[in-house]
Structure 1
């Protein structure tokens, strides 16, 4: 039985969503078409393909794609498929193909932009409809590719907003991540963590701004950090970043949650933004920026108070600790998380060391914190398969959100505004054909 638009519309109410959104394979398949088949999705960072021939493989929804540095220096994004028999051109991962791509099946070769270069024994094609210049015989590029300060996004749709419009206020987090570098640039360094979670992809996005869960879900890690600190007589950075989850509800209620169109948003940072001139690592970082921009601008850059930013469909850049948690849906109950860590070019090495420490202790598969979330995501997935109820509640502080020029802001830091905003965007994606809108405009 096929689900229709009227039924889809009923799945999202102002203060609740139907549990089938997380579990139904048909809905998941439609998401791959209507969300990941249309929205701008983060592919990778330009630093992952530094030289001509360098490639980085990833997925946009259910599609394997290839980010490739061309001979002209341009970054291209194409589907990872040979047009002859459909073979995957390169294996998953990163590497360098040299001056051209060569299919391992029949040795068709392609330029670094995916266009056909040559076919073995081409005489066998004479007298047929084969035409070297026909796009069907080249690797297919994605409909649109654009880069924002080195972060490469692609869309499978010809229609829809341009990248800057799509990112909206969330672009400020990418700006701040780059501006924290004295050179204004970042690069992916240190490898990429991967975690396969037994849950729907949307649960992760909700949890990024779910301030109510932190002191409950992460009790074991922050209590252990406090016990260790008491024994030491001090709270070093390694323990401080775990201790932050243990703040009382009064702390979380004071935080600001911002929501933007297309499902994006951010939560106010939980760490003190004034630490730039006190903490030893932050101090040397501040000094390196002050040499370039002056002290006032350096304080402004390091004082941007954002914790987790959501770029819906792509993942979550974290400006303070230089990460991008890339979220890739695999199945209704399987989600691949990739954690990229960035070096701020020109910044003291201690700043990058601190980012690696945060990655290892908070977001790595073996950390003391991430397993708590992963287990609860799995439990949500399993619970929504039972007959225990039909709806998932998003009632908290419903109806109190404030409109801003850029979107919405919460009146309380424990509001479920982010969830309501994400599912309003989900509904819009699922009911809108960007290509059809483009035809109407034309």
Structure 2
């Protein structure tokens, strides 16, 4: 079946989507071009490249890129490719390039912004079209790079909304994460977990705000946590955060779900924000914030209770336990998730220790919770490859989404509003914006 605009549009209904959006390799290729090739995508945090020459490698869709800090302090994002033979300039991971990039193949060198610096035995390039000032002989920079409170995003498209417009209402989640520091700054530290999932990248985004799955998928870890707590006669933090998934449906129905343009949104938190008056770690955190901001603002910062925020195409910041789950598509049925943990500068060390505990217990590859999700994601991928049906339901509370000034809000916390909103954005990127770009290109050709 041809993947023209009409075909792609027919795969998304107001209350369901065709399973091809998860299983078709051709659609995956188009997603890398039309979504990851145009949207603002999270590259990394400024704290990962603290000194000039420091770099951090990652992927934007199917493109390997390098975030680097230059000698003037500016951060650049360049494709990880030497223009000579196409070799990757730096290996996967973090490191320091020193004062310039040097290709390991033929020693071509480049300034830290990617500009061509030198090539050995340049006399052999004389009387040719070689021009060191021509962009073809430099490492290519991404079209647009911007930072929001230290979080660096890049877009491969030269046009489109600016970063703040793109983030819309979820920028407030980044604000809250940073404001939880008494000095308003955070830094990535403590290492990064990596989880390779055998499923399409969109499944994880849907699950982040899927409140119906928690007491079912995570039943085993909830039962284990409660059993151990009963034996201990107490519910320590490590068990409490596992037990949170076991709340009854009545609890989940009362939560608020928000949806914004471009597929973003957030889910109201599931842990009690008033714990700052009882829990010793939160109490110390509150005291540190109150000393800087005053008690009223400190209560407001800690009282913004969000569980998972979705930045569509990038991943999910968690403000309460200062994580960022970065979601990277690898193939139509393979997704890499990186869990970054942030230290709140100026906050008590116990706050960071708690964040590490949460990452280990809930998000790490060896946790008691993450494997539940990874298993059902894989089952969704496998099930959608059978002949058991063509459509994936997103009917819960369809047609009841309440429009607000900057997006939509659910009338029930078990609504599938987030999934419908994500596929509205998917359709816009894949069909509407692509059709508009094609039309503009044709008009330019006709002119």
TM interval, short-chain normalised: over 0.9
Helix, strand or coil at the partner of 1:239: helix
1:120-139 matches, cutoff 5 A: 120-139=120-139
Helix, strand or coil at the partner of 1:397: coil
How far, CA to CA, are the matches of 1:436 and 1:46 in structure 2?
36
How far, CA to CA, are the matches of 1:232 and 1:95 in structure 2?
45
Helix, strand or coil at the partner of 1:414: coil
Aligned to 1:220: 220
Identify if the C-alpha distance between structure 1 residues 435 and 121 changes in structure 2 by more than 3 Å, giving closer, same or farther.
Answer: farther
**Cα RMSD for the two superposed structures:** 1.3
Aligned to 1:86: 86
Helix, strand or coil at the partner of 2:166: helix
How far, CA to CA, are the matches of 1:104 and 1:422 in structure 2?
42
Helix, strand or coil at the partner of 1:50: coil
Aligned to 2:378: 378
**Unpaired segments of 5 or more residues in structure 2?**
none
1:355-366 matches, cutoff 5 A: 355-366=355-366
How far, CA to CA, are the matches of 1:399 and 1:13 in structure 2?
12
1:182-201 matches, cutoff 5 A: 182-201=182-201
How far, CA to CA, are the matches of 1:133 and 1:264 in structure 2?
40
Aligned to 2:101: 101
Aligned residues: 441
Q: How far off is 1:46 after superposition?
A: 0.3
Is 1:151 the counterpart of 2:154? The answer is: no
Q: How far off is 1:277 after superposition?
A: 1.6
Identify if the C-alpha distance between structure 1 residues 282 and 401 changes in structure 2 by more than 3 Å, giving closer, same or farther.
Answer: same
How far, CA to CA, are the matches of 2:209 and 2:195 in structure 1?
20
Q: Tell whether the 8 Å contact from 1:276 to 1:286 is kept in structure 2 after alignment.
A: yes
Helix, strand or coil at the partner of 1:241: helix
**Unpaired segments of 5 or more residues in structure 1?**
none
User: Deviation above 3 Å: which 4+ runs of structure 1?
Assistant: 433-440
How far, CA to CA, are the matches of 1:370 and 1:70 in structure 2?
38
Aligned to 2:54: 54
How far, CA to CA, are the matches of 2:7 and 2:439 in structure 1?
22
Q: String of CA shifts for 1:70-100, please: whole Å, max 9, x gaps.
A: 0110010000000000000000000001001
Is 1:11 the counterpart of 2:43? The answer is: no
Aligned to 2:423: 423
Q: TM-score, normalised by structure 2?
A: 0.97
Aligned to 2:113: 113
Worse-superposed segment, 250-259 or 271-280? 271-280
How far, CA to CA, are the matches of 1:77 and 1:217 in structure 2?
39
Helix, strand or coil at the partner of 1:71: coil
Identify if the C-alpha distance between structure 1 residues 148 and 438 changes in structure 2 by more than 3 Å, giving closer, same or farther.
Answer: farther
Q: How far off is 1:159 after superposition?
A: 1.1
Q: String of CA shifts for 1:392-422, please: whole Å, max 9, x gaps.
A: 0000000001000010000000000000000
Q: Tell whether the 8 Å contact from 1:114 to 1:140 is kept in structure 2 after alignment.
A: yes
Q: How far off is 1:14 after superposition?
A: 0.1
Q: How far off is 1:256 after superposition?
A: 0.4
Is 1:286 the counterpart of 2:251? The answer is: no
How far, CA to CA, are the matches of 1:189 and 1:125 in structure 2?
45
Q: Tell whether the 8 Å contact from 1:402 to 1:411 is kept in structure 2 after alignment.
A: yes
How far, CA to CA, are the matches of 1:277 and 1:147 in structure 2?
34
How far, CA to CA, are the matches of 2:365 and 2:439 in structure 1?
42
Q: How far off is 1:438 after superposition?
A: 8.8
Q: Tell whether the 8 Å contact from 1:69 to 1:75 is kept in structure 2 after alignment.
A: yes
How far, CA to CA, are the matches of 1:272 and 1:366 in structure 2?
26
Q: String of CA shifts for 1:94-139, please: whole Å, max 9, x gaps.
A: 0001001000001000000000000110111111111111001000
Is 1:268 the counterpart of 2:268? The answer is: yes
1:302-321 matches, cutoff 5 A: 302-321=302-321
Q: String of CA shifts for 1:298-339, please: whole Å, max 9, x gaps.
A: 000000021100000000000000000000000000000000
How far, CA to CA, are the matches of 1:343 and 1:92 in structure 2?
24
Helix, strand or coil at the partner of 1:385: coil
Is 1:345 the counterpart of 2:363? The answer is: no
How far, CA to CA, are the matches of 1:266 and 1:229 in structure 2?
30
Aligned to 1:333: 333
Q: TM-score, normalised by structure 1?
A: 0.98
Helix, strand or coil at the partner of 1:86: coil
How far, CA to CA, are the matches of 1:355 and 1:191 in structure 2?
12
Q: Tell whether the 8 Å contact from 1:159 to 1:435 is kept in structure 2 after alignment.
A: no
How far, CA to CA, are the matches of 1:199 and 1:99 in structure 2?
40
